[in-house]
Amino acid sequence: MHKVESNGAEIPAIGLGTWDIRGAQCVEIVSEGLRLGYRHIDTAQGYDNEREVGEGLRASGVARDDIFLTTKVWHDKLNAGALEKSAEESIARLGVDHVDLLLVHWPNPDVPVKETMEAMARVKRDGLTRHIGVSNFPIALIDEAVAVSPEPIVTNQVEYHPYLDQTKIVDACRRHGISITAYCPIARAKVIGDPVVEDIAARHSRNPVQVALRWLIQQPGVIAIPRTSSKTRLAENLDIDGFNLTDAEMAAIADLARPDGRIVNVAWAPKWD
């Protein structure tokens, strides 16, 4: 699996998302994923599973230095002081001495972006994270964050899949050398049964999930973090290196985007581009 280079970070193009996986199942999925070959694990304070993710890391037997570990700070902890404390708590729950990437999970309009990014930079300089980034930031906030952040921003984690056109935010991030990390990359399984995706999958002797993931990581600077609680799916989601989509196939999948394609639109979401 190739890595995406972004402002000094090298991030494995496929990661394991852990949203809504908790308890013993989370430990098992993370440890099994690492044994299968995943080297990028994504969690968050808001997922309430950092402790189990850490247990899974240790149970896998894979060396910590070989794993790219991401967690996120919740949007009610973005003030100076609260953010640093939150990061320390995440590190403690994970049972590691640092993460590889710390993200602002959602923007908070009541906290200045400058204050948040300066606090993120302090966390990095204190050695608690190797890199910093953001999540769910629209274009105006990305531009502002880049302008005020004392440290480079390496990714913007956003919802991205065939039914949601994210061309504007992808282009904006590329202008700053920032990668895109796609969550909900298979649109919560909506790609399964889609005639266009199924037809392309049949041509390549693959399944539609593999095609949707290939479509994402074949785009420059794009990373995907599929989430699954199935061990069979774990292996399949990682096995997407043996084929390439043609330009026509890439375009056909992009054409599936529709105005109502967004899945995640919580009450605290910013105004999307």
Catalytic residues: 47
For the chain, the distance separating the N- and C-terminal CA atoms, rounded to the nearest angstrom, is 31
As a whole number of angstroms, the distance between CA 75 and CA 41 comes to 21
H helix runs in the chain, sequence order: 23-36, 50-60, 82-94, 113-125, 139-148, 167-175, 195-204, 208-217, 231-238, 247-254
Amino acid at 25: Q
Contacts of 109 (CB under 8 A, 6+ apart): 270
- Distance from C-alpha of 56 to C-alpha of 75, rounded to nearest angstrom: 26
Q: Report the amino acid identity of residue 224.
A: A
* Measured torsion, CA atoms of residues 24, 13, 147, 174, in degrees rounded to the nearest 10: -150
- Rounded to an integer, what distance in angstroms lies between the CA atom of residue 174 and that of residue 154? 11
Rounded to a whole number of angstroms, the CA Rg of the chain reads 18
**C-alpha span between 69 and 33 (Å, rounded):** 13
Between CA 208 and CA 186 the distance in angstroms is 9
| Sign of the alpha-carbon torsion through 122, 128, 130, 135 | negative
